[in-house]
Structure 1
Amino acid sequence: MAVFTPIEPSDISDWIATDFEIGQVTDVRGIQGGIENSNFFLDTELDGKAQQFVLTIFERLSAAQLPYYLELMCHLADKGIPVPKPLVDKHGQILFSLKGKPAAIVSKLPGLSRLEPQLKHCAMVGEMLAKMHLAGTDFIHTQENLRSLSWWQHTIPQILPHLSDTQKTLLTKELAAQEHFFSSANYAQLPQGASHCDLFRDNVLFDSKGASDTSQDVLGGFFDFYFAGTDKWLFDLAVTANDWCLADNKQDFNPTHLNALMEAYQSVRPLTKQEQQSWPLMLRAAALRFWISRLWDFYLPRDAQMLTPHDPRHFENMLISRKTL
């Protein structure tokens, strides 16, 4: 959630007042973190009541691709899954143009991220992720995960010149292993559907209900669906486990956190035999996907305000760890 396209209240005040029923703009502030889109907290006031939303200007996704993400959030919200819901303007639209780029406004979820999750946080996330997967089974739209195998194949040649020989070997051998896995009969049988594909700790909020500690935490919701796609649910679970269940060394698993996440997920949707067999390779696929992405952002960055690329070595080390499972 960096800022590539700065905006001021004066840029949007008339638009908001004319096309929405959320009152007058009182402030708009860039959100730090993330590296894909320009995101802002949008403050308004209606009948003396302060309200807050999230405004996103999309920097890479096209207007043709965006309805999938926005309509998926609408679908999940209507099914009772705690996700941001896109605002509909007076013309019945949820996708807009701002400064020549696609844009959307969504509701703001309550709570804060828990970057050092406890067992209960892992369990809440696992349970809700399974419920989200099942809630999406009747979502009528499909769109491939745009950061899956074909993107890896396209991107790796661009980043190889920046890597050491050891890194090149690790990356190319793992890509070959994943190409074989993705073409296997086991992979073809894995259940799939709408998936978040980026459910890191900073994309989940917990509401403490006013408590000064985390003892009263409830799940506030999942957000940032702009890497979502139709993918294997096991990949979505692997991405989540790789981030939520880390040991202190930030690369191996904390087994108690992993058990909490997996047991809660399977209490709602038990894994199939093929999923159980594919779990080690899918954990590697999830680590590889984000290592490639971090390398791409690190060595081929875009100009942006408030942008700090993440260290790629985190997922390099994680991939090495996952290969030992």
Structure 2
Amino acid sequence: MAVYTEVSDAELSAFVARYDIGRLLSAKGIAEGVENSNFLLQTETGFFILTLYEKRVNAADLPFFIGLMEHLAGRGITCPQPVRDREGNTLQQLAGRPAAMVTFLSGMSVNRPGVAHCGELGRALAELHAAGADFTLTRQNALDLHGWRPLFEQARAQADSVSPGLAQRISDDLALLENAWPKGLPEGVIHADLFPNNVFFLGEKLSGLIDFYFACNDALAYDLAICLNAWCFEADGSFNITKGQAMISAYEAVRPLDPSEVAALPILARGAALRFLLTRLVDWLNVPPGALVKPLDPLEYDRKLGFHRHATTAADYGRVA
């Protein structure tokens, strides 16, 4: 959510004037994140988030993302709700970019999630999956198993400059996952990027989910595997099984896992780690000159893969039989 596209005060004021939300009082660029340009706007009626969608976001996917947020908000999921202008539109153009405004959520993300945070996240993830079950639009996961080898080929030649032997480790993991990836698991709408910076808390209570711009249709348990990777590892690379148990048990209190999902969890978690290793690695090796945003460390997920290679059952992640 760094600011890649600058917008003048006059342009912002004219943009806000399309909505019944009062005059623009202030605007501030939001520095976090890596995908789009975001601004915190204060108007006479409250606070809003304005997003300008940069080149990595396919404009054809925007109706899915915006529609999903409206759908989930209508089913009780606390997430940004798209704001419609006076003509009923949610999608706009601003500074040569597709743009949309959404409601502001209270709360803050946590840098070091505790056990209680992981439990709250597990429950919220299952509720999101349940709420998305009747969403009619679909979007293919562009970063699923089939997208990983092309990413690897982009980075293969330079991978060992990041860490000795990294190319071979990735090659071995990728070959195993391509042969072992499960088929026929329960599918639905997944968030696909529910990292701690995309979840807000008030104290230890979850107050909202944000950043749905990787959302897609895929295996529901894969979404859980992404969250186990993002929330349950410690800074030293060790997996905190207590956090894993809290997340999985809270998830299953809302949506019990199918036996096929339980059996597949180690492979899904390994695949989720490889997906983020690869996208981070490509970004790490292709930082444009003068970039304002530091790419995320790919080796964090190389270390996590060290754990996944030795995990054999869902119990290794804290799932209680």
Residues 120-152 of structure 1, C-alpha deviation per residue, up to 9 Å, x if partnerless? 111111011101101111000110112222322
What residue is the counterpart of 2:107 in the other structure?
A: 111
TM-score normalised by structure 2 residue count: 0.92
Q: Aligned match of 2:215 in 223, 228, 237?
A: 228
Flag structure 1 segments of 5+ consecutive residues without an equivalent: 208-213
Point out where structure 2 has 5 or more consecutive residues left out of the alignment: 312-321
Partner Cα separation in structure 2 for residue 38 and residue 150 of structure 1: 29
**CA RMSD across the alignment:** 1.4
Displacement of 1:305 in angstroms is 6.0
User: How many angstroms does 1:62 deviate by?
Assistant: 2.4
Structure 2 equivalent of residue 259 of structure 1: 245
Partner of 1:175: 174
**Cα separation, partners in 2 of 1:32 and 1:285, compared to 1, 3 Å:** same
The reply to whether residue 55 of structure 1 matches residue 57 of structure 2 is no
Q: 1:4·1:304 contact (CA, 8 Å) conserved in 2?
A: no
Asked if the contact 2:15–2:94 (Cα under 8 Å) also holds between the matched residues in 1, the reply is no
208, 219, 229: which one pairs with 1:242?
229
Corresponding position of 2:200 = 205
Secondary structure of the structure 2 residue equivalent to 1:29: strand
1:91 matched to 2:87: yes
User: Secondary structure of 1:175's match?
Assistant: helix
Of the candidates 214, 218, 228, which is equivalent to residue 205 of structure 2? 218
The answer to whether residue 191 in structure 2 is matched with residue 196 in structure 1 is: yes
TM score, norm. by length of structure 1 = 0.91
What's the % identity of the aligned pairs?
38
CA deviation vs aligned residue, 1:296-320 (integer Å, no higher than 9, x gap): 1111124676411111110111112
> CA offset at residue 63 of structure 1?
2.1
Match of 1:211 in 2: none
Instruction: Give the C-alpha shift of residue 15 in structure 1.
Output: 2.2
Whole-angstrom distance in 2 between the partners of 1:155 and 1:314: 18
Secondary structure at 1:143's aligned position in 2? Answer: coil
Deviation of the 1:61 alpha carbon? 1.5
**Equivalent residue number for residue 16 of structure 1:** 16
What displacement does 1:248 show? 4.3
Give the direction of change, closer, same or farther, for the CA distance of 1:107–1:303 in structure 2 (3 Å limit): farther
Letter in structure 1 aligned against 2:214 = F
CA distance in 2, matches of 1:177, 1:261: 27
* Distance in 2 (alpha carbons) for counterparts of 1:131 and 1:119: 19
Q: How many matched pairs?
A: 307
Q: Deviations over 1:33-71 (max 9, x none)?
A: 21111111112124xxxx111111111222211111110
Q: CA deviation at 1:284?
A: 0.5
Q: What is the CA deviation profile of residues 198-227 of structure 1, one whole-angstrom value per residue up to 9, with x for unaligned ones? A: 0011100012xxxxxx3xx32111100001
In structure 2, the residue corresponding to 1:64 is in which secondary structure? helix
Matched residue type, 1:58:
Y
SS in 2 for 1:240: helix
**Are 1:287 and 2:273 an aligned pair?**
yes
